[in-house]
Structure 1
Amino acid sequence: MILFLTVVSGIAWTIVYIDAIRVGFRDRTNAIPAAALALNFAWEAIYASRSVATALSVQGVINIVWALADVVILYTFFRFGRAELPAWVTRKLFFGWALLLGVTAFAVQLLFVAEFGWDPAPRYAAFLQNLLMSGLFIAMFVSRGGSRGQSLLIAVAKWIGTLAPTLVFGWYANSMLILGVGALCSIFDLAYIGLMLRARTGRSGEAAAPGGTL
């Protein structure tokens, strides 16, 4: 069952990344919030590299696939992301902010390793940044005034991709912290799915023009 749930999570998050690439190029924007994207890429780059350096596992292969997909999503962020920021944010400010965000994301991931060790660190970091991402997706919907640069498929796949490891590391591994944070992720994810369904049925406003916040 644990292997099955790991594969389900891997497939679901891969769908998230593939559709984020599709939507990003279609709508000329980043489909994953900037802070969440930075943390995800740092997490995947660190643990994919460790997997290659030690012994490849199913999760290690999945991490490598995710890291490669994130490179393309990062391209959409650098190509289109500045348009989502206020006009006073110059190109230099945008890249400087992006660099600071990236360095911070790698530092946070390595601090988790320093504090908890290589085995627990990826679990704790992943669920906490996942909760952050869940909130940021809702904030993205609000700041853009609708579903521009987002999709219902991303919303549903993210929920499933988080729920599966919540069962693995929360329920089966008996971690109250992971189970609780995973449950909070589901609450936010279901709320976001509701917003996307609302947008899909035309009951929310049309997407706002670029110029909001990431």
Structure 2
Amino acid sequence: MQCSSNSCSSGCGGHTLPCPCPEEGNPEIDSLEKVVNCFWQKNQDLAVERDYYESLESLADAVDEAAQALGDENLGYNQPDAISRKVLTVTREKLVAAENELSRVADFTKLHAVVCTSIGDLAGLTPALVYLTALRIGLQARVHPQHIYLDAGAREGCAALVGPDLERVVLPRDQLPRIFQHPELTTEDVQSCLTVCRHQLDWLGRQQKRD
């Protein structure tokens, strides 16, 4: 994606800016286009992960890798583990036990439901992590989300765009502003952008109200 202002490739002013933006907002990223372009330029690791999971030969491999990836939540130095080793072990066991059911799903909604039923009640596994686990497994199976899943982070980002009264669990992507319909953005890219950039989206919303 390219910024239509042609001032830079990210739409962020031509120099390095922190990502994600601070809670108080970043005045240099003063439009939705700049938010999306900045996210796109600085989060290409999403494409790398997508390619990796799509390259796995079997669903069993994807389940194993997705379960192991949850351990990365414990990489903060001098911080207590976000997810205990016991829970990580149980998570893998439950996902492996669900492989047969996962292999029969035809869309991401059903795949997410199976993953949520299997591991959604385990300590430390937030709705965002459950979604991410389902996404990783779905990539291998070529099953992709068609809606935005309103976990805590994405809900905040959506609230800044479509209003705070979001009681739904999912939001159709076409209810978001036009920039989020860009053909180069997958639905999972949009989900991640809403989460990572939620503070900046909130800042933009507050600026628009003042104007």
When normalised by structure 1's length, the TM-score is: 0.29
When normalised by structure 2's length, the TM-score is: 0.29
Q: Max radius of gyration: which structure?
A: 2
